[in-house]
Structure 1
Amino acid sequence: MQEDFERSRIHAFFRRVAGAVPGDDKPASLVITHLLAERGAFLTGVAHVSTIAAVLPKPRSIDEATLRQVGRTLQVDELDRHRFADPDQALAYIESRAAGQDLILADVGGYFAPVIGHLAAHFSGRLLGVVEDTENGHQRYERQEKLPCPVLSVARSPLKNPEDYLVGQSVAFSTEALMRSRDNILNGRRACVIGYGKLGSSIAALLHAKHVDVTVFDLDPVKRVQALSQGFRTTATLSDALAGAGIVFCATGNMALREEDFGRVANGAYIASVTSSDDELELSALNGLYSRSLAGPNITRYTRTGHYFYVLADGNAVNFLHGASVGAFILLVQAEIVAAMALLTRGEHDPGIAEVPAEVRQSIASTWLNYFHEVP
């Protein structure tokens, strides 16, 4: 729990960031977010540049105390990907919250991507644009045939690199914490890391530091070359990567394990994901093929004749079980989201995916160092 002086410092930081990127009149905003313990301060930052019409918490990353606190002053609605996949339902929802207003959508995972064209064409107000936080969401917007408005993506920002690295570390920490609850540890097991992006490479590096034998699989041969150069065994096939691996880390954001892959998972292996089970694991396809039983808190045993394995946190991001904290580094990304929203109010961006200018990122980094870097 943050102390009062810590909260005051964070609020001052967001005021400084918002003031450095002056926008036009404050539009309405719909804010999708992981509603974790520190996100109240982030929403205060968003409120400096927009009027929050509703907060939509990611369902598997909600801190109940924060939910109650935010709900006292802001409208909090249920986030349902199925609703936002239906053009008419999505439009009816945003009309119910921001009819006739200028509107910014703050997205985490591309929830609005399938209907963005319909929203822009039929919303009674004016859709100023979208700010997207994740690589998975970035790709969902990228796949749209033609974007009708600007999408400012922070997914590939250099300010996100510290967060991504530390998230990878937290995934490995939470995985071992759950394993230890069953009197198991990382050491002595071979590990498989599926996906060698920012998170996967961070997980692999931590496992290597713990003297765990790691095999990396990535569909991209360039990523496999990178992993090989950094001392990891690589393979061109997923089945080879899974063979004999006692721990499987899924870090693709794009269905790492499908129905046919689970049969290749080693007996007794633990499977951990860095993101939503809907994005990473085709667990629904195992209905009727495997029986499920609880093997411990947040550990599900999947069993069929002659084969069993364990899935952690129901296949969702395992680090959220322990707060998913990356310290003050998360504020760098949150500040860039706030700055991006302010930039959208100016109406200077053409439709399509764009990024926050380098000079704005440099200003955010400099401000963050002034507020949070303690010089010895």
Structure 2
Amino acid sequence: MESFERARLDTYFSKIASRFRPDEPPVSFLITHLLPERPSFVRAVATASSLRAVLPKPKSVSPTAKREAERIAPCDPLSRETFADPDQAVEYVESRAAGERVVLLDVGGYFAPTLSALAEHFSGTILGVVEDTENGHKRYAELDKLPCPVVSVARSPLKDPEDYLVGQSVVFSTEALMRERGDILHGRPALVIGFGKLGSSIARLLHAKGVQVTVHDIDPIRRTQALSQGFTVARDRDRALHNAGLVLCATGSLSLRAEDFSTLRNGAYVATVTSSEDELDLDGIPSVYQRARDTDHITRYQTTGHYFYLLNGGNAVNFLHGASVGPFIFLVQAEILAALHMLTRGNLAAGMHDVPAVDRAAIADAWLTAFNR
């Protein structure tokens, strides 16, 4: 990022921080993709709260960004196991923030499995959670009873530009990897599993590139939406898998079970928009399949009479090329700061919440002033 771009971004976040600065800043823990532009957001979080730890998503860490983030707050390792065990989760938060008022800034529902234990046994107070993704939104919404408020920005209209551009970046990275092997998108039927914001963006871009696209989604409403937009909707999931030369998984949950991989046609490519632990049951693939690195980011799975290719180890393929969505990501980051401010006031009931429309409008106005040049 050029110096003038950094100055513009810092001015933008300064304006956002002045509007949403808490009277009594809480302690925060920040889970984030630590991409090259992310340190500016980390600094903004540290301005709005006492940032005790950054927990980078393990498959999306820029070494330069990590070094810069470490000058702001400690960077701790993150995995699903970190917050899967209640005792371990409480011990970790205690080690960084004993007795404090804490806001958890999440990307993907990492805190969900042990949120009740944290709310009950932590020596301080869990003011609430801010969740950034649809996958994480679902993880919190599916809990039997939320012990604290969760402010979700996953379905905010300010996130629509990001979701659209992420879909574009997924298609770009998928095609770039295929070209490393001398393959192209054209002439290769595609199956998009999941027709939410990301899946629909991917499907539209593939279609615009002249690719034959079939959609599968468990939600009948989304299937009707796909039909209305001119896509073929799979009547038989197994047949759709067998016919596809490219499978793009965009559900945020389990898209391909272990037994599905043997259904793939020979030479099919598989790519995802999120981590392999969410989308793919790779551990269940039969041991008769031999795994071999075909290129730096393509793994060939082969057994007698059958083979397919997995892109980026099953992790989000777009992170190989920076997952860049330009300045539109700063809309969502500003809304996260607004959500943090909401939780700091302490007047929200346990349950799911949205940032008010008036605050979203103020963020959009500040963003347009800074970046619509």
Q: Same fold (TM over 0.5)?
A: yes
Bigger CA drift: 324-333 or 75-84? Answer: 75-84
Are 1:15 and 1:48, in contact at CA under 8 Å, matched by a contact in 2? no
CA–CA distance in 2 between the matches of 1:116 and 1:288?
Answer: 36
**Structure 2 equivalent of residue 279 of structure 1:** 278
SS at match of 1:203: helix
CA–CA distance in 1 between the matches of 2:319 and 2:187?
Answer: 26
**Structure 1 equivalent of residue 161 of structure 2:** 162
Are 1:216 and 1:235, in contact at CA under 8 Å, matched by a contact in 2? yes
**Structure 1 equivalent of residue 364 of structure 2:** 365
Are 1:269 and 1:309, in contact at CA under 8 Å, matched by a contact in 2? yes
SS at match of 1:131: strand
CA–CA distance in 2 between the matches of 1:110 and 1:140?
Answer: 6
**Structure 1 equivalent of residue 100 of structure 2:** 101
CA–CA distance in 1 between the matches of 2:248 and 2:40?
Answer: 31
**Structure 1 equivalent of residue 138 of structure 2:** 139
CA–CA distance in 2 between the matches of 1:271 and 1:75?
Answer: 36
SS at match of 1:151: strand
**Structure 2 length normalisation: TM-score?**
0.98
SS at match of 1:10: helix
Given the alignment of the two structures, is residue 260 of structure 1 paired with residue 259 of structure 2, yes or no? yes
**Structure 2 equivalent of residue 17 of structure 1:** 16
CA–CA distance in 1 between the matches of 2:357 and 2:235?
Answer: 37
Given the alignment of the two structures, is residue 76 of structure 1 paired with residue 67 of structure 2, yes or no? no
Are 1:11 and 1:44, in contact at CA under 8 Å, matched by a contact in 2? no
Deviation at 1:15, TM superposition (A): 1.4
Q: Deviations over 1:332-361 (max 9, x none)?
A: 001100111111111121111101001100
CA–CA distance in 2 between the matches of 1:118 and 1:237?
Answer: 42
| Percent identical | 59
Are 2:46 and 2:72, in contact at CA under 8 Å, matched by a contact in 1? no
SS at match of 1:243: helix
Deviation at 1:18, TM superposition (A): 1.8
**Structure 1 equivalent of residue 118 of structure 2:** 119
CA–CA distance in 1 between the matches of 2:51 and 2:62?
Answer: 19
CA–CA distance in 1 between the matches of 2:277 and 2:366?
Answer: 37
CA–CA distance in 2 between the matches of 1:251 and 1:357?
Answer: 28
Q: Deviations over 1:194-220 (max 9, x none)?
A: 110101100111111111111111111
Matches within 5 A, 1:1-376: 2-374=1-373
Q: Deviations over 1:245-272 (max 9, x none)?
A: 1111001111110011111111001000
The count of corresponding residues between Structure 1 and Structure 2 is 373
Bigger CA drift: 23-32 or 52-61? Answer: 23-32
Are 2:119 and 2:147, in contact at CA under 8 Å, matched by a contact in 1? yes
Q: What residue identity is the alignment partner of 2:33?
A: H
Q: What residue identity is the alignment partner of 2:356?
A: P
Q: What residue identity is the alignment partner of 1:345?
A: T
SS at match of 1:109: coil
Q: What residue identity is the alignment partner of 1:118?
A: A
Q: Deviations over 1:143-189 (max 9, x none)?
A: 11111111000011110111000000000000000000111110111
Gaps of 5+ in 2: none
SS at match of 2:345: coil
Are 2:26 and 2:344, in contact at CA under 8 Å, matched by a contact in 1? yes
CA–CA distance in 1 between the matches of 2:149 and 2:100?
Answer: 17
Deviation at 1:287, TM superposition (A): 4.9
Deviation at 1:24, TM superposition (A): 2.4
Deviation at 1:370, TM superposition (A): 0.7
CA–CA distance in 2 between the matches of 1:21 and 1:83?
Answer: 30
Deviation at 1:99, TM superposition (A): 0.6
CA–CA distance in 1 between the matches of 2:17 and 2:347?
Answer: 17
CA–CA distance in 1 between the matches of 2:176 and 2:236?
Answer: 29
Please give the root-mean-square deviation of Cα atoms over the aligned residues, in Å: 0.9
Are 1:219 and 1:236, in contact at CA under 8 Å, matched by a contact in 2? no
SS at match of 1:370: helix
Are 2:297 and 2:312, in contact at CA under 8 Å, matched by a contact in 1? yes
SS at match of 1:124: coil
Q: Alpha carbons of 1:74 and 1:22: their partners in 2 closer, same or farther (altered >3 Å)? A: closer
Q: What residue identity is the alignment partner of 1:333?
A: V
Are 2:259 and 2:285, in contact at CA under 8 Å, matched by a contact in 1? no
Are 1:171 and 1:203, in contact at CA under 8 Å, matched by a contact in 2? yes
Q: Deviations over 1:8-37 (max 9, x none)?
A: 111111111121124221111000000010
CA–CA distance in 2 between the matches of 1:265 and 1:333?
Answer: 37
Are 2:42 and 2:72, in contact at CA under 8 Å, matched by a contact in 1? no
CA–CA distance in 2 between the matches of 1:24 and 1:118?
Answer: 28
SS at match of 1:263: helix
**Structure 1 length normalisation: TM-score?**
0.98
Q: What residue identity is the alignment partner of 1:48?
A: T
Bigger CA drift: 111-120 or 71-80? Answer: 71-80
Are 2:289 and 2:302, in contact at CA under 8 Å, matched by a contact in 1? yes
Deviation at 1:244, TM superposition (A): 1.9
CA–CA distance in 2 between the matches of 1:287 and 1:24?
Answer: 56
Gaps of 5+ in 1: none
CA–CA distance in 2 between the matches of 1:239 and 1:181?
Answer: 28
Q: What residue identity is the alignment partner of 2:141?
A: E
